[in-house]
A and B are shown apart, each in its own frame.
Chain A
Amino acid sequence: MQDELSLKKKAEDALNKSAAYGEDFNLDDYEIASREEKITEDLTKLSSDDQKTLLNVGVVPNEENRSGTFIMLNNAVSHASVKQDDEVELMSHQDAIKKYDWVKDYSWKLVKPDADKYTAMTYLQNADGYFIRAPAGKKSKMPVQTCLLIGSKEVSQTVHNIIVVEEGAQLDVITGCSTRKGVEKGLHLGISEMYVKKGATLNFTMIHNWAEQIGVRPRTVVHVEEGGTYINNYITLKSVRSIQMYPTVLLEGKGAFTRLNSIGVAHPGSELDLGSRVIFNAPDTKAELISRTITTGGKVIARGEMIGNADGAKGHLECHGLVLSSEGTQRAIPILEANVEDIELSHEAAVGRIAREQIEYLMARGLTEEEAVGMIVRGFLDVGIQGIPDELKASIDETIAKIGEKAI
Chain B
Amino acid sequence: MLEIQNLTVEIGGRRILNGINLNVEDGFKNVLFGPNGAGKSALLMTLMGFSGYKVVEGKIIFKGEDITNMSVYERAQMGLGIMAQRPPNMSGVKLRNLLDVISKNDSKYDELAETLDMVRFLDRDINVGFSGGEIKRSELLQLSVQNPDMVLLDEPESGVDLVSIEQLGITIKNLLGGKGKCAGERCKHGKSALIITHTGQVLDYVEADRGFILCNGRVMCSGNPHEMLEDIKSQGYEECVKCKMNYL
Interface residues of A (CB under 8 A from B): 355-358, 360-369, 371, 375-376, 378-382
Q: Which residue of A lies closest to B91 (CB)?
A: A379
Taking the closest CB of chain B, its distance from the CB of A386, in whole angstroms, is: 15
Given contacts A366-B77, A376-B93, A379-B93, contact A361 B84 (CB under 8 A): yes
Chain A positions within 8 Å of B71 at CB level: 363, 369
Taking the closest CB of chain A, its distance from the CB of B90, in whole angstroms, is: 6
Q: Is the beta-carbon distance between B98 and A375 smaller than 8 angstroms?
A: yes
User: Which among A357, A363, A382 is the interface contact of B76 at CB below 8 angstroms?
Assistant: A363
User: Which among A356, A369, A379 is the interface contact of B73 at CB below 8 angstroms?
Assistant: A369
A375 to B95, CA, bound (A): 11
Given contacts A364-B81, A369-B73, contact A379 B146 (CB under 8 A): no
Q: Is the beta-carbon distance between A358 and B90 smaller than 8 angstroms?
A: yes
Chain B positions within 8 Å of A363 at CB level: 71-73, 76
Chain B positions within 8 Å of A368 at CB level: 73
Q: Is the beta-carbon distance between A367 and B93 smaller than 8 angstroms?
A: no
Chain A positions within 8 Å of B146 at CB level: 365-366
Interface centre among A364, A367, A379 (most CB of B within 10 A): A364
Q: Is the beta-carbon distance between A360 and B50 smaller than 8 angstroms?
A: yes
Report if B94 contacts A (CB, 8 A). yes
Chain B positions within 8 Å of A378 at CB level: 92
Report if B113 contacts A (CB, 8 A). no
- 10 contacts across the A-B interface (CB closer than 8 A): A357-B88, A358-B88, A360-B49, A361-B88, A364-B72, A365-B98, A366-B146, A367-B101, A369-B73, A376-B92
Chain B positions within 8 Å of A369 at CB level: 71, 73
Report if B142 contacts A (CB, 8 A). yes
Interface residues on B, range: 20 to 34
Q: Is the beta-carbon distance between B51 and A360 smaller than 8 angstroms?
A: yes
A91 to B42, CA, bound (A): 66
Q: Which residue of B lies closest to A356 (CB)?
A: B51
A376 to B89, CA, bound (A): 11
Q: Is the beta-carbon distance between A355 and B88 smaller than 8 angstroms?
A: yes
Report if B82 contacts A (CB, 8 A). yes
Chain A positions within 8 Å of B84 at CB level: 361, 364
Q: Which residue of B lies closest to A368 (CB)?
A: B73
Report if B207 contacts A (CB, 8 A). no
Q: Which residue of A lies closest to B48 (CB)?
A: A364
A366 to B92, CA, bound (A): 19
User: Which among B52, B76, B88, B125 is the interface contact of A366 at CB below 8 angstroms?
Assistant: B76
Q: Is the beta-carbon distance between B72 and A375 smaller than 8 angstroms?
A: no
When each residue 107-151 of chain B gets 1 if its CB lies under 8 Å from chain A and 0 otherwise, what string results?
Answer: 000000000000000000100000000000000001000100000
Chain B positions within 8 Å of A358 at CB level: 88, 90
A379 to B81, CA, bound (A): 23
Taking the closest CB of chain B, its distance from the CB of A366, in whole angstroms, is: 4
Given contacts A364-B81, A365-B98, A369-B71, contact A380 B91 (CB under 8 A): yes
Taking the closest CB of chain B, its distance from the CB of A118, in whole angstroms, is: 34
Q: Which of B48-100 contact A (CB under 8 A)?
A: 48-52, 71-73, 75-77, 81-82, 84, 87-88, 90-94, 97-98
Q: Is the beta-carbon distance between A365 and B125 smaller than 8 angstroms?
A: no
User: Which among A355, A364, A367, A382 is the interface contact of B92 at CB below 8 angstroms?
Assistant: A382
Q: Is the beta-carbon distance between A360 and B72 smaller than 8 angstroms?
A: yes
Taking the closest CB of chain A, its distance from the CB of B136, in whole angstroms, is: 15
Knowing that A357-B50, A360-B49 touch, tell me 19 more A-B residue pairs with CB under 8 angstroms.
A355-B88, A357-B88, A360-B51, A360-B72, A361-B84, A363-B73, A364-B48, A364-B82, A364-B84, A365-B76, A365-B98, A365-B101, A366-B73, A367-B101, A368-B73, A375-B98, A375-B101, A376-B92, A379-B125
